[in-house]
C-alpha cells in the first residue's frame, strides 16, 4: 500500500477516534467530522513537534513520578488543542487527561484493526 494512502487512512481513523471520545467523555465536544479531521491533524502536529520537547524538559519530574507525569503532559496538550480550535472543545484539564487516554486507546485499536484488515487483503 502506498504511504500517502496509509497516512490518509490513519488521519481519518484518528478523526473517528476523536468523535468516539467526544461521545464517551461529556466534557469534550466535537462539532462534526470536519472539525474532527482538523482537530486530529493538529493533535498529530502537537504530538509530533511539541510533546517530545515537553517530555525532555520535564524528564526529572517524570522520573520522580515513575512516568505518571506523562498523563499530565498529554492532558495539557489535548486541552491546549481544544482551546485553540473552533469546533473542538475540551472543558477542563481533567477532561483533557481522560480524553487523551481514551483517544490513544481508540487510535491504537482502530489502527491495529485497519492494519490487520490490510494484511488479510494481501
The answer to whether residue 119 scores a pLDDT higher than 90 is no
Query: Would the pLDDT of 1 be above 70?
Result: no
Kindly give the interhelix angle for 69-84 and 33-49, rounded to the nearest 10 degrees: 130
What is the tens place of the pLDDT at every residue in 29-64? 999 999 999 999 999 999 999 999 999 999 999 999
Residues facing residue 90 across a β-bridge: 28
The C-alpha torsion from 106 through 107 and 108 to 113, rounded to 10°, is 90
- Is the predicted pLDDT of residue 122 greater than 80, yes or no? no
Q: Locate all alpha helices (DSSP H) within the chain, ordered by sequence.
A: 3-24, 33-49, 51-57, 59-64, 69-84, 93-121
Amino acid at each position: 500500500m502506498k504511504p500517502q494512502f496509509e497516512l490518509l487512512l490513519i488521519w481519518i481513523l484518528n478523526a473517528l477516534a476523536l468523535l468516539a471520545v467526544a461521545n464517551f467523555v461529556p466534557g469534550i465536544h466535537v462539532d462534526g467530522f470536519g472539525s474532527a479531521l482538523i482537530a486530529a491533524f493538529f493533535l498529530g502536529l502537537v504530538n509530533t513537534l511539541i510533546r517530545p520537547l515537553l517530555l525532555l524538559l520535564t524528564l526529572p519530574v517524570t522520573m520522580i513520578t515513575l512516568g505518571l507525569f506523562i498523563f499530565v503532559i498529554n492532558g495539557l496538550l489535548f486541552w491546549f488543542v481544544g482551546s485553540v480550535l473552533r469546533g473542538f472543545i475540551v472543558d477542563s484539564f481533567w477532561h483533557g487527561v481522560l480524553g487523551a487516554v481514551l483517544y490513544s486507546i481508540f487510535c491504537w485499536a482502530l489502527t491495529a484493526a485497519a492494519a490487520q484488515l490490510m494484511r488479510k487483503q494481501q
